[in-house]
Chain A
Amino acid sequence: QSVLIQPPSASGTPGQRVTISCSGSSSNIGSNSVNWYQQFPGTAPKLLIYNINQRPSGVPDRFSASKSGTSASLVISGLQSEDEADYYCAGWDDSLNGHVAFGGGTTLTVL
């Protein structure tokens, strides 16, 4: 059972806006920043969003994210077929002497 809770799946059609949620607690999202990683099958995860809403160089601006209280969201606007991948939220959790917590991951399907 992951510390951060994500829906196992999400879907949308090309051009649509899709939101993936990430629910945590006061010891993680509630008090620390959140990051999002994108992973294609058979490849390593790639940093997609860091420090709540910052995009690394090269990440399209159709990817955005936010945080409110103990939850965070990743929004993909103008969905494209190449966005079909697994998405993970993650961040520092202050409990148990501190550790990185990952969400269970959301598989995004572009219909």
Chain B
Amino acid sequence: QVQLQESGPELVKPSETLSLTCTVSGGSMTSYYWNWIRQPPGKGLEWIGNIYTSGSTKYSPSLKSRVTMSIDTSRKQFSLKLSSVTAADTAVYYCARSVISSGYYYYYMDDWGKGATVTVSS
């Protein structure tokens, strides 16, 4: 089990870029996929994307035009950038570790951060 901690600005202006970092402690980043998931107020969970320790990424089809993820295994961190934000991007953003089988038959997130609340407002 690892610990994950999200960090970043709590308030972002419309049209600007939301930036968050997830710091991993208590375990290795190697051989796992690292995810961002968000939850708008009062709503369900939405997967944003993942990044592997090699740097390869997969993004949600609905967000991929605005999402960029990066990883720095030496610092045990991975990051999310979401551009051109609007009020609809207001949410709690979670980072999570996932275990994935080849071909993605199973894909589950076994460790989660506590979440970072990000509000988009002028």
Contact = CB atoms under 8 A, between A and B. Distances in A.
A47 B58 CA distance: 21
Interface residues of A, number: 28
Interface residues of B, number: 25
B58 A99 contact: yes
B112 A44 contact: yes
Contacts of B35: 100
A98 interface: yes
Interface stretch (A12-20, A68-76, A77-85, A102-110): A102-110
Interface in B22-51: 35, 37, 44-47, 50
A32 B100 CA distance: 11
Interface string B91-107: 00010000101001111
19 contacts: A33-B101, A33-B106, A35-B109, A44-B94, A45-B94, A45-B109, A46-B112, A47-B109, A56-B110, A88-B45, A90-B47, A98-B58, A99-B47, A100-B47, A100-B50, A100-B107, A101-B47, A102-B45, A105-B45
Interface of B: 35, 37, 44-47, 50, 58-61, 94, 99, 101, 104-110, 112-115
Interface of A: 2, 32-33, 35, 37, 43-47, 50-51, 56, 88, 90-92, 94, 96-105
